[in-house]
Chain A
Amino acid sequence: MRQTRPASTHGTAPSAGLPASLAGTRVLDLGSSGSGDRRRFEDLGAEEVVEGTPPLDRRPGPPRSFGFVHCGALPVDGRQLLLLSRLWHLAAPGASLLLGSRVLDAAEASRYLSVRAGPAGLEWIPGRLALRWLVESSGFDVLRWLPEEAVGRPSTEPFAYLAARRSERSPALLEQVGAPVDEAASPAGEASTNGGAPGSSRPDDAYAQRVPD
């Protein structure tokens, strides 16, 4: 049976996803300001806890510096890939990512994102497999899904948490910035390219162009 958490604790990191110790670790905590997570991370020995707000238009710290990243509610605004790739740049090699997101309930839509109007604009809500692919394509390896009973739900919306680890591979998304598109995918076989910045195939360059210091 699913548990339902009060909305006021939305984004709070589930204990089941936390390591036994965060000693000496810099923690980036997104979107759960005021939830009490800072105290929990500090109690686990975190060296520093930096709170941020998606979509991270301001760089909250030096690249590759965070050993633990918690994002309690991945925005479903269609810019998930952008945020995840930014997290990859901020996370240290091998860093842990604890990520929560609204998800689709319907198993048959697991590979898709539903695009529908929401109270704050268009919502892109991923199925579980789609969420996994988004995370993996952004340079993280998904380790496990947290059990539903450990996650609870901030509202009646289906919600899921996963634990992942930053891999050494750079986000596939950014590697292809500036690369030509498969022409066959374009209308009438027309060829075009994506809109990546010229010469920005290096992920750090791409990040730097999007995020002012």
Chain B
Amino acid sequence: MSRHRAHAAAGLRRSCPSPELFASAPAARPRSECREQLEQSAARLGPWAQGPFLLGDDLRIEGQRRSDLSWETIAAELPPGLGGARVLDLGCNAGYNSFMFASRGAGYVLGCEPSRFIEQARFLEGIYGSGVDFQATAWQQLEPQIQGRFDLVHCAGMLHREPDPVGLMDRLHELTAPGGTLLLGSMMLADPAMAEHVRFVPLGYDGDSEWRWVPGALALSAIAEAAGFEVGARFGEAPGPPGELETVSGYLRATRRKT
């Protein structure tokens, strides 16, 4: 948590979640007695991976990453208004993208996050009153018969850590409405010669503290197509984390086949 001068924060307000984005927000400027309480709550819920989140005035939560920049990548793929669409943000973390989908005109946004980050999302929702439905739900627990299907599904940073990637893709297909859009974000192999392969990186390899799948771009497309999606363009590609294994991170845009 940090304080910035108002003019420094002003540049972020166009693209960051803040009370001003939501008509139902109680206040854009926290009263002084609330301010200390907000700061304490935010600190207690940290560390924050996503950010920045504007809480009003010059009060904001810094994240470890610039989610506002990530959002700009996503936003460029969306129509200017979401026209009341049903949106699923799977693995929503503190809800940055969920809030932005809501501000973009989505009719209903379901943000799912099974880890402790859901508490951050709920804390922010208590301030913003955006109407996003945050649930501490894992993808295995989502059923189209219960939650319904979604016009737009956003899922980033999950596939490469999923023990059952095929099961995840099948569920994404079930949850996407026919003709609906999937924005699937993943790290990918940088080497085009291995584009049709998946690398399994075990725990401890090259100093990694985590295991992961790293699909080649064509393999990722094949996995999405096998699940029932028509794969369109890739976008938002950027160099992945440094290491022995060269990777890129990026998105794949796919449409659920109507039949």
Contact = CB atoms under 8 A, between A and B. Distances in A.
Contacts of A192: 91-93, 155-158, 185
Contacts of B42: none
Nearest to B219: A115
A143 interface: no
A196 B200 contact: no
A197 B167 CA distance: 14
Contacts of B65: 183, 189-191
Interface string B48-87: 0110000000000001111101100100000000000000
Chain A interface helix/strand/loop/mixed? mixed
B101 interface: no
Given A130-B200, A137-B203, A191 B49 contact: yes
A190 B203 contact: no
Contacts, number: 192
Contact of A188 (B70, B194, B212, B247): B70
Interface band, chain B: 35 or more
Contacts of B63: 191
Chain B interface helix/strand/loop/mixed? mixed
A136 B201 CA distance: 11
A173 B140 CA distance: 16
Contact of A187 (B64, B70, B92): B70
Interface residues of A, number: 52
Interface stretch (B4-12, B16-24, B102-110, B236-244): B236-244
- Pairs of residues from A and B, 10 with the lowest C-beta to C-beta distance, nearest first: A186-B157, A192-B157, A191-B49, A195-B139, A192-B91, A187-B185, A188-B70, A112-B197, A115-B219, A184-B241
Interface of B: 49-50, 63-67, 69-70, 73, 90-94, 97, 113-115, 117, 136-141, 155-158, 160-168, 185-187, 194, 196-203, 205, 210-212, 215-216, 218-219, 222-223, 226, 236, 238, 240-241, 247, 249-251
Given A172-B202, A187-B236, 20 more contacts: A79-B164, A81-B163, A82-B167, A85-B163, A109-B194, A112-B194, A122-B166, A136-B202, A181-B210, A182-B212, A185-B247, A188-B73, A188-B236, A189-B238, A190-B97, A192-B157, A193-B157, A195-B168, A196-B114, A196-B138
